[in-house]
Each structure stands twice: as structure tokens, then as C-alpha cells.
């Protein structure tokens, strides 16, 4: 009978903590990143690379000098915005996976506005273009909210599906029959933007454009929105407990729609930055998954808007480092995706582990 | 004689609290042993340890004189310990027999339903259980469903039956019958550990009673040798005032008029079937009824959270039917929802943020387009001191507060927003005696201020002592409205069961 069985007992037990301090969280984050780097090192070993040399290339390529740091900020710019897009929506527990499509929608709306208002002076054109890009992203986000609140369509499905719709629409516009195709070009791309339409470059002989400032300002604005405004209060409230928010008069569908619209607008701005600040023409590989990487950035930042800036810079550096890694050691630069995933897994694991503590128990028998 | 169950020095700690601290007690064969204590005293934790659901941190359990270790409920069931929880685990479309047989270890691949039915009939006869074994569970009242749970425990041969607050779902008459059956079961040799926080039940049914307070065992006594006042003192740790002093005041004009209200429940079934009443200023109108007879839907429709299909609701003469919760709130209707954690609060928000929930757009707490944290904190500190909310600071997350303090947060918030009327659904459920006294006093103060209060409670005595009038709700209809001074417990109990008496 079970009751009389005596065996060895594990003398420790995991217990949920009620609250985790700020410093403890930071300590766990550092532990997680170090552990992730060790795991990445093991992966590098299996690829036959010299681990010290590989990490040297990775960090040197990302943060090794002034030029590298500026280039890292260039990479970080769209990630800050798509990261904010994900972080804001996730705070309301609205799962916007459509950052990629909203980014393209923003770029397309911005390009369309450029075709209409190309004659405006540069500053006015800049304002028109970013407003149009934000509106384009917001419209796609808002559509997902409409589908959710009116027809109960899960936003995860609708936002992902919308990514394809937007991408194929762009493909159509750039196709041989599309109006945006560069005259006589063999490639699926638009004509080069004139210099007057390109975003201002912040520092000479770098690619860092004004979109970076826009992204940092957006992070501060979203931080203030969440912590200091009634709308931010409602976004957090429906994320934590939509029932209680509804019971106390919050119009939950409306707040969801506004949240998704702002989230889409942020992703749309990322698209404008890539188009007008970096690539200077509309191409199918404008993004290469920036919308999806933004989700990882947001998770890594624990959905905190200012943390998103740091996480985006880290990921921007990793991307650049991976290029040097490939040159120096022959490890393919796709390795960066593996590192990103490893970092994310360790950080999420740590944030769960940090809410537990180990306790010894005395024997019951 | 060796007792059936003996517990020595059992302790169980949780991160925040010691739920059971060095408890020792025994349950004899053929006795009804009550486990009495306030919410949070550790009654259910102890029961879950005895049922193998929790592992104790220290202590020994003996069953039939043998030391046992319970790693899971299946160990407990194999030994002969059965438990009926507050929430039932039944399959509504299946019959009683099917529910009992499904999930029993001996069921095998092919079910012997006929044999099982014979066995169950024998059990029912033996213990005097009155239940239609071929009925489908959804057709049964909640009280009968509880018997299905008890039969499940008996069918697998339980000798010790642990019942967690079994009378919460019963009318007074059903409770009497329930206790009579428990008596017969103990005469047949079963032992029963009955968890309750109701003193009158302990006095009525138990042989012995063990009182717990804050995880510690106060005493185990023979029920015949103590008075209810003794038990209350043991349970709370101080003298308790039982009578509520309700001064007679003349009620004012009708503030809320409800006419022919019809609404559906979450499953789309009719929950309100033509409810009409008037709520006056300076009165408390009690809504009596067994849980699930439309109370939740009635309060939600009045608060604007649930849409009504038909009918009319007028606040001071103006229709508020199917207006948004925000608009009804703005017109001066406060709402204390039934489920305070899920409907009344945002546990991850701070105490201060919870106190302004619903008012976040009010100019009172804003400076320009921004929230004004200082004004919010100032308001919160006023609430904390005037409602005696125990929290280290107003910035502390609400989830760390006890149930009583959470309820005080809701009271403080709603009291500030209800100049016209207050909808209080189960405002004292699950609270400690001390906090219940406090809530009662504040409700009566609010009534004296001229607010009309609609009060629902599962505790009939609470309703009768607080209310000026009592409306009995049964299956979505009002069976009658009485002046509480003229109503009797028996009469109301019958109406709660849907029986319209000749005298009514």
C-alpha cells in the first residue's frame, strides 16, 4: 500500500515568490544573457569555429568602434519601432503579430503620399510622408481590431494573414503591370527616391538618419502614454483584467481598436524609415522580418518601451556582428537568428525562474 | 478505541502564510466532526492535505491506526477517504449512474451500468438518500448534484467523508434534510469531517468541533458542552456582536423602478423572467435566493453590463435600460460585483489605481491630458484611512491584500460614486466576521444618507437583519416581497425553493 511506502525524498521544493525586486530582475537578466552567450558559444563550437575569435568578430562588428556603433543604431531604428508596436499591443494582451504587414503598409502609404506631394519642400514632404506611413500602418492594425470586436476573429490569425495580403499587394504594385515599377527595370522595385524626399542623415559619412530620433521619441511617447495618461491606464487595465475594466465603464472594444491602430502606426513608421531613410526605393525585401524580430525585441524588453530601445540596439549589434562573423570565421550570418532565439529563450526562462525560490522542506514522515 | 483518522503536528506553509501550523486532531468512527473557522483559517488547506491534494511540510497522518503518506487524491481514495469540494466535477449530459461510474478505478473498458445502478440503489436505501439515479445531472438542482458527488465518494468505499461547505448551495429546508441524512450515514458507521464557518450548523449537527484560527488549532470540544458565543469567541479571538442595530427610518421615494425585466444568462437561457420591483431611498432591499436563480444577471442588467431583452429600468424617472456601464455609473449608481477579484478589481494595479478605476478620465484626477499621480495618491490615502484598508502604501499592488481589504477597496471606490443607489451583490461573502460587521455598519450608514441599496446575499440571516424589505428570487422571478419585520425564515425558505405557500 502506498501509505506505508518509505523512500528517498527530494529535500528542496520550488515555490512561487510573491514579488520580485527590480535589482533581482536585473541580476536574472544578466545571468540569462551570459548563459545565452555560453550556449551560443557551444553552438559555434559545433560549427567548427574558434569561439574566442568568433565572439571577437561578433562584438567587434556590432560595437567595436564609432562606425560600427553608428551602423548598429541604423539597424536598431526599425526594430525600436516594431518592438514598440508589439510591446504596446501586448501590454493590452492584444496579440499583434502583424508588425511585418503594418511596416509594409506604412512604407506603401508613405510612398503613395510621396507620389502625390513630391513637389512640397523637404520638411513639409517629410511630415506628410511620416503621417501617411503612420496612417497606413494604423489602418491595417485597426482592421484587425474591427475583425476581432465585430466578428470575433482572433487577432493572431487576422494580423498574420494581413501580412500576406499587404506583401502581395506590394508585389502587385511593383509587378510588370503595376504603377510603381521602375521604368524599364529588370528588378521588382520602384524608382530611386530623389534626394529631396530622402530622410535627413544625422551624421556625415554614416547612414544614421532622422528616423532614429523619431524612434527614440516614439519610445518616450509610448512610455508616457502607458504610465501617465487615461488611455494608457485603460490599455494596461484591459491587459490585466478586461472584465473589471468593462464592469467599471471602459469601452474595451474601442480601447483595443485604438491600441491596435497606434501599434500599427508605429510599425508603419518603421516602414517609412526603411524606405525613405535607408533603401530609398520600394523593394520586396524592404523588411526581411523586422516586424517579427520586433516581437522578440519587445519580449526581451519585458514589454517596457524604454527597454525596447536597449533590446533593439542589442539585436541591431548582433545583426552587424554576424556579418563580420561570416567574413572572419565562415560561420553563416544566419547564425544571428540562432543567437537571437537563444537569448530570447534564456531571458524568458529566467523571468519565469526569477518568480520562484528554492526552499528546503523537513520530512513529513 | 483507535480513531479512524489521527493527525499529529501537521504543518503546511505557503509563500506568504503558514496555512496550517502544528495541527493535531482525530476523527472517530461514526462521528460528525466539524472544522470551524473563518475564511483563511486553514480549514480547506487541512482538508486538502488529508485528501492528498497538498503535501504537508511536516506532521504525520494515521488512518485506521496506520501511518499513511498521501501523495495524491488517488492514494486517499484507495484508503477510503472521500472529499466533496465546493465546486462539483460532474458531466451534465450524463445520468447520475454514469457520472458515478465514470472515473471509478474499477470501471474497466465496458461499463456495467446495471450492476452499478443496483449497488447505488443499495447505497441510497442504506443511507436514506433520495435521488433519481436515471436523471441527467443537468436536470438536477444544485443541492441534488451535491448528492451525486457524495454518492461518487461512497461508491468507491469511502469511510471518511470530507465535505467542504456543503450547505452553501442549499435552502434552509434542504439543509435540515441534508443533515438528517448525514446523521443516518454516521449511524451506519461512516465518519464525516464537515467544513463550515456557520455556527448554527455546528450546533445543529456535529458531535465534536475543532476550531481553527489563523492556521492554528484553538481547541477541539464536545459540541454539547459549548454555546455558539463560546465558539464565536474561539473562532474570532474576541467577543462578537451578533445583532445588527438597524434603526427604523422612513423610506423615501422610489429611486430605481424595475418593470418586467427579462434577460438571458451566459448560456443563452432565460435568467430573468419578468422581474419588477421598486427600490426606495433610505432602504435596503434584500434579494434572497439560492445562488444561480438570476441574482447575478439582475445586478448585471441594472449596472449596464448585461443587455436586457425586455422590460424597463428607471433611475429617478429616466430610463437607464441597456445604457453603458460608464453612463449608469456616471448617473450615480454604485456596483459591488459578486466576484471581487475578477469583476471588481485589477489585482496587478496598485491600490491607488484600483481606487480610481472607472474615474480615470475624470478631471478630478487629471492635469491637462495626463493623469495626476499626486491627486490620485491623495484621494487613495483618504480612502485608506477612512475605510481602514491595511496596505503598506497606496502604491502597493492590490493582489497582496487580503480578501477583506480588497472588499474595502471596492467599498471605498463605490461609496464615493453612488449618490443615488448602490447595487451590492454578495458584499460580505468570504469575509471574516470582523470585516462583515464593518461592511454592515457602512451599508447602514449609506442607507441613512438616503441611498437606496439593493443587497443580495447567500446568508439569509444577513438579509433579514440588514434589509427593510426582502424580495425572494426563484428561477428568474420574484416570488414575493415582504417587510422583513413580518417575514419568517421558514416562509422565505419555501419560496426560495419555488414553493408558494398558502399563507403567502
Whole-angstrom Cα distance, residue A114 to residue B340? 54
Q: State the residue for C-alpha cell 520550488.
A: A14
The pTM for the full model equals 0.80
Beta-carbon separation of A244 and B60 below 8 A = no
Number of H helices, E strands in chain A: 13, 2
Cα dist from B51 to A70, A298, B70, B77, B162, whole Å = 64, 44, 7, 8, 8
Whole-angstrom Cα distance, residue B322 to residue B341? 25
Reference B76, options B63, B85, B65, B66; nearest CA is: B63
A315 pLDDT above the threshold of 80: yes
Whole-angstrom Cα distance, residue A28 to residue A44? 24
pLDDT of residue B197: 80
Which chain A residues are Cβ-neighbours of B353 within 8 angstroms?
233
Three-class SS of B379-398:
HHHHHHHHCCCCCCCCCCEH
Whole-angstrom Cα distance, residue B395 to residue B392? 8
Q: With bands split at pLDDT 50, 70 and 90, how would you rate the model's confidence at A65?
A: very high
Whole-angstrom Cα distance, residue B431 to residue B409? 13
Cα dist from A98 to A247, A270, A289, B196, whole Å = 30, 13, 11, 52
Task: State the smallest CA–CA distance between residue A12 and chain B in angstroms.
Answer: 11
Whole-angstrom Cα distance, residue B246 to residue A266? 59
Q: Are B41 and B214 in contact (CB under 8 A)?
A: yes
Which chain B residues are Cβ-neighbours of A362 within 8 angstroms?
57-58
Beta-carbon separation of B343 and A364 below 8 A = no
Which chain A residues are Cβ-neighbours of B81 within 8 angstroms?
none
Q: Are B32 and B227 in contact (CB under 8 A)?
A: no
pLDDT of residue B171: 80
Q: Over the stretch A227-247, which tens digit does the pLDDT of each residue have?
A: 999 999 999 999 999 999 999
A253 pLDDT above the threshold of 60: yes
A213 pLDDT above the threshold of 90: yes
The CB density around residue A7, as the number of other CB atoms within 10 Å, is 6
Q: Is A176 exposed, middle or buried (0-12, 13-18, 19+ CB in 10 A)?
A: exposed
Beta-carbon separation of A247 and B337 below 8 A = yes
Which chain A residues are Cβ-neighbours of B369 within 8 angstroms?
229
The residue count for chain A: 365
Angle, CA of A171, A173 and A179, to the nearest 5°: 150
Beta-carbon separation of A18 and B16 below 8 A = yes
Would you call A228 an interface residue with chain B, using a CB distance cutoff of 8 Å?
Answer: yes
DSSP string, A154-187: -HHHHHHHHHHHHHHHHHHHTSTTSTTSPTT-SS
Beta-carbon separation of B326 and A250 below 8 A = yes
pLDDT of residue B37: 86
Interface of A with B in 3-22 (CB under 8 A): 3-6, 15-19
H-helix segments, B102-197:
113-127, 142-155, 172-187
Nearest-CB residue to A365 (from B60, B335, B357): B60
A364 pLDDT above the threshold of 50: no
pLDDT of residue B276: 96
pLDDT of residue A236: 97
A361 pLDDT above the threshold of 80: no
pLDDT of residue A5: 40
pLDDT of residue B222: 95
A9 pLDDT above the threshold of 80: no
pLDDT of residue A363: 44
Which chain B residues are Cβ-neighbours of A247 within 8 angstroms?
303, 305, 325, 335, 337, 343-344
Q: Over the stretch A24-35, which tens digit does the pLDDT of each residue have?
A: 778 888 889 889
- Strands B318-319 and B191-196 come out as unpaired
The CB density around residue B44, as the number of other CB atoms within 10 Å, is 21
Q: What sign for the dihedral angle of Cα B337, B340, B346, B349?
A: positive
pLDDT of residue B401: 85
Would you call A93 an interface residue with chain B, using a CB distance cutoff of 8 Å?
Answer: no
Strand partners, B7: B25, B61
Looking at chain A, which residue has its C-alpha nearest residue B374? A228
Per-residue pLDDT of chain B (504 residues; tens, 9 = 90+): 789 999 999 999 877 677 899 999 999 999 999 999 877 788 888 999 999 888 898 999 999 999 998 888 888 988 999 999 877 888 888 999 988 887 676 656 677 788 889 989 998 998 888 888 998 988 888 888 889 999 988 888 899 999 988 887 788 888 888 999 999 999 989 999 999 888 888 999 999 999 998 889 999 999 999 988 888 888 877 766 656 677 788 889 999 999 999 999 888 889 999 999 999 999 999 999 888 899 999 999 999 999 999 999 999 999 999 999 999 999 999 999 988 888 999 999 999 999 999 999 999 999 999 999 999 999 999 999 999 898 889 999 998 888 888 999 999 999 988 889 999 999 988 777 778 888 999 999 999 999 999 999 988 888 988 999 999 999 999 999 999 888 888 888 888 888 875 444
Whole-angstrom Cα distance, residue B11 to residue B17? 11
Q: Using CA atoms of A343, A346, A350, A352 in order, give the dihedral in degrees to the nearest 10.
A: 110
Interface test with B, best of A16, A220, A247 (most B CBs within 10 A): A247
Looking at chain A, which residue has its C-alpha nearest residue B11? A364
Whole-angstrom Cα distance, residue B92 to residue B136? 7
Task: State the smallest CA–CA distance between residue B408 and chain A in angstroms.
Answer: 16
Looking at chain B, which residue has its C-alpha nearest residue A364? B58
Q: Are B400 and A19 in contact (CB under 8 A)?
A: yes
Q: State the residue for C-alpha cell 454604485.
A: B334
Beta-carbon separation of B357 and A362 below 8 A = no
- E-strand stretches of B28-141: 32-36, 58-63, 66-68, 81-84
The CB density around residue A217, as the number of other CB atoms within 10 Å, is 10
Interface of A with B in 240-299 (CB under 8 A): 240-241, 243-251
User: At A101, which helix (H) or strand (E)?
Assistant: helix A99-117
The CB density around residue A277, as the number of other CB atoms within 10 Å, is 23
pLDDT of residue B256: 96
Reference A325, options A41, A34, A32; nearest CA is: A41
Task: State the smallest CA–CA distance between residue A363 and chain B in angstroms.
Answer: 6
Looking at chain B, which residue has its C-alpha nearest residue A227? B371
Task: State the smallest CA–CA distance between residue B57 and chain A in angstroms.
Answer: 6
Amino acid at each position: 500500500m502506498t501509505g506505508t511506502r518509505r523512500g528517498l525524498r527530494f529535500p528542496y521544493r520550488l515555490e512561487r515568490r510573491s514579488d520580485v525586486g527590480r535589482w533581482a530582475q536585473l541580476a536574472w537578466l544578466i545571468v540569462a544573457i551570459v548563459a545565452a552567450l555560453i550556449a551560443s558559444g557551444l553552438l559555434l563550437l559545433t560549427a567548427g569555429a574558434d569561439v574566442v575569435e568568433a565572439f571577437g568578430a561578433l562584438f567587434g562588428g556590432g560595437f567595436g568602434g564609432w562606425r560600427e556603433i553608428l551602423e548598429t543604431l541604423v539597424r536598431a531604428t526599425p526594430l525600436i519601432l516594431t518592438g514598440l508596436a508589439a510591446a504596446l499591443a501586448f501590454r493590452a494582451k492584444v496579440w499583434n503579430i502583424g508588425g511585418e504587414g503594418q511596416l509594409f503598409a506604412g512604407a506603401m502609404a508613405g510612398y503613395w503620399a510621396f507620389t502625390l506631394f513630391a513637389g512640397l519642400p523637404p520638411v513639409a514632404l517629410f511630415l506628410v510622408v511620416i503621417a501617411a506611413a503612420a496612417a497606413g500602418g494604423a489602418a491595417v492594425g485597426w482592421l484587425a481590431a474591427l475583425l476581432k470586436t465585430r466578428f470575433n476573429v482572433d487577432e493572431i490569425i487576422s494580423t498574420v494573414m494581413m501580412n500576406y495580403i499587404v506583401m502581395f499587394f506590394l508585389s502587385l504594385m511593383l509587378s510588370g503591370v503595376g504603377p510603381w515599377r521602375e521604368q524599364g527595370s529588370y528588378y521588382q522595385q520602384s524608382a530611386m527616391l530623389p534626394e529631396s524626399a530622402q530622410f535627413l542623415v544625422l551624421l556625415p559619412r554614416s547612414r544614421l538618419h532622422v528616423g532614429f530620433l523619431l524612434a527614440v521619441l516614439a519610445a518616450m511617447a509610448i512610455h508616457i502614454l502607458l504610465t501617465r495618461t487615461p488611455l494608457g491606464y485603460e490599455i494596461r487595465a484591459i491587459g490585466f483584467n478586461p472584465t473589471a475594466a468593462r464592469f467599471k465603464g471602459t469601452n474595451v472594444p474601442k480601447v483595443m481598436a485604438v491600441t491596435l491602430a497606434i501599434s500599427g502606426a508605429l510599425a508603419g513608421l518603421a516602414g517609412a524609415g526603411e524606405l525613405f531613410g535607408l533603401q530609398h526605393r520600394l523593394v520586396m525585401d524592404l523588411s526581411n522580418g523586422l516586424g517579427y524580430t520586433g516581437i522578440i525585441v519587445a519580449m526581451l524588453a519585458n514589454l517596457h518601451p524604454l527597454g525596447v530601445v536597449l533590446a533593439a540596439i542589442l539585436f541591431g549589434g548582433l545583426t552587424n556582428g554576424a556579418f563580420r562573423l561570416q567574413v572572419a570565421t565562415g560561420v553563416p550570418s544566419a547564425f544571428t537568428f540562432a543567437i537571437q532565439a537563444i537569448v530570447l529563450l534564456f531571458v524568458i526562462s529566467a523571468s519565469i525562474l526569477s518568480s520562484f525560490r528554492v526552499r528546503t522542506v523537513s520530512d513529513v514522515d | 478505541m483507535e480513531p479512524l483518522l489521527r493527525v499529529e503536528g501537521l504543518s503546511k506553509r505557503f509563500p506568504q502564510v503558514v496555512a496550517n501550523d502544528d495541527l493535531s486532531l482525530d476523527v472517530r468512527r461514526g462521528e460528525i466532526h466539524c472544522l470551524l473557522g473563518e475564511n483563511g483559517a486553514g480549514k480547506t488547506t487541512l482538508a486538502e492535505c488529508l485528501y492528498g491534494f497538498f503535501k504537508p511540510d511536516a506532521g504525520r497522518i494515521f488512518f485506521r491506526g496506520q501511518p499513511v503518506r498521501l501523495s495524491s487524491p488517488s492514494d486517499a481514495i484507495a484508503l477510503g477517504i472521500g472529499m466533496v469540494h465546493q465546486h462539483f466535477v460532474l458531466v451534465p449530459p450524463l445520468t447520475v449512474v454514469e457520472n458515478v461510474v465514470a472515473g471509478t478505478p474499477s470501471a474497466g473498458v465496458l461499463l456495467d451500468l446495471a450492476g452499478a445502478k443496483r449497488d447505488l440503489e443499495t447505497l441510497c436505501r442504506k443511507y436514506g438518500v433520495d435521488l433519481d439515479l436515471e436523471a441527467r445531472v443537468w436536470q438536477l438542482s444544485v443541492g441534488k448534484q451535491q448528492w451525486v458527488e457524495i454518492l461518487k465518494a461512497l461508491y468507491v468505499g469511502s469511510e471518511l467523508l470530507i465535505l467542504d461547505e456543503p450547505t452553501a448551495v442549499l435552502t434552509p429546508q434542504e439543509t435540515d434534510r441534508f443533515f438528517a441524512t448525514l446523521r443516518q450515514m454516521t449511524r451506519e458507521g461512516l465518519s464525516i469531517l464537515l467544513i463550515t464557518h456557520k455556527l448554527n450548523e455546528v450546533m445543529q449537527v456535529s458531535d465534536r468541533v475543532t476550531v481553527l484560527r489563523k492556521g492554528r488549532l484553538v481547541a477541539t470540544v464536545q459540541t454539547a458542552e459549548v454555546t455558539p458565543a463560546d465558539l464565536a469567541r474561539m473562532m474570532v479571538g474576541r467577543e462578537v456582536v451578533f445583532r445588527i442595530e438597524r434603526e427604523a427610518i422612513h423610506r423615501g421615494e422610489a429611486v430605481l423602478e424595475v418593470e418586467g425585466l427579462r434577460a438571458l444568462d451566459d448560456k443563452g437561457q432565460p435568467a430573468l423572467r419578468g422581474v419588477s420591483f421598486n427600490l426606495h431611498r433610505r432602504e435596503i432591499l434584500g434579494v434572497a435566493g439560492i445562488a444561480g436563480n438570476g441574482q447575478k444577471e439582475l445586478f448585471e442588467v441594472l449596472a449596464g453590463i448585461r443587455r436586457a431583452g425586455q422590460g424597463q429600468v428607471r433611475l429617478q424617472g429616466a430610463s437607464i435600460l441597456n445604457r453603458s456601464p460608464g453612463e449608469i455609473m456616471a448617473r450615480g449608481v454604485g456596483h459591488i460585483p459578486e466576484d471581487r477579484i475578477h469583476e471588481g478589481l485589477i489585482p496587478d494595479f496598485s491600490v491607488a489605481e484600483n481606487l480610481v478605476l472607472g474615474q480615470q478620465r475624470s478631471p478630478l484626477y487629471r492635469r491637462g491630458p495626463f493623469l495626476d499621480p499626486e491627486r490620485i495618491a491623495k484621494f487613495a490615502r483618504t480612502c485608506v484611512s477612512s475605510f481602514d484598508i491595511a496596505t503598506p502604501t497606496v502604491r502597493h499592488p492590490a493582489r497582496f491584500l487580503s480578501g477583506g481589504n480588497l472588499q474595502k477597496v471596492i467599498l471605498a471606490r463605490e461609496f464615493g460614486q453612488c449618490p443615488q443607489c448602490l447595487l451590492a451583490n454578495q458584499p460580505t461573502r468570504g469575509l471574516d466576521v470582523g470585516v462583515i460587521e464593518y461592511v454592515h455598519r457602512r451599508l447602514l450608514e449609506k442607507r441613512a444618507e438616503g441611498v437606496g441599496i439593493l443587497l443580495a446575499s447567500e446568508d439569509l440571516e444577513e438579509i433579514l437583519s440588514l434589509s427593510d424589505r426582502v424580495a425572494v428570487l426563484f428561477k428568474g422571478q420574484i416570488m414575493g416581497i415582504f417587510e422583513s419585520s413580518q417575514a419568517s425564515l421558514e416562509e422565505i425558505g419555501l419560496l426560495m425553493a419555488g414553493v408558494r405557500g398558502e399563507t403567502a
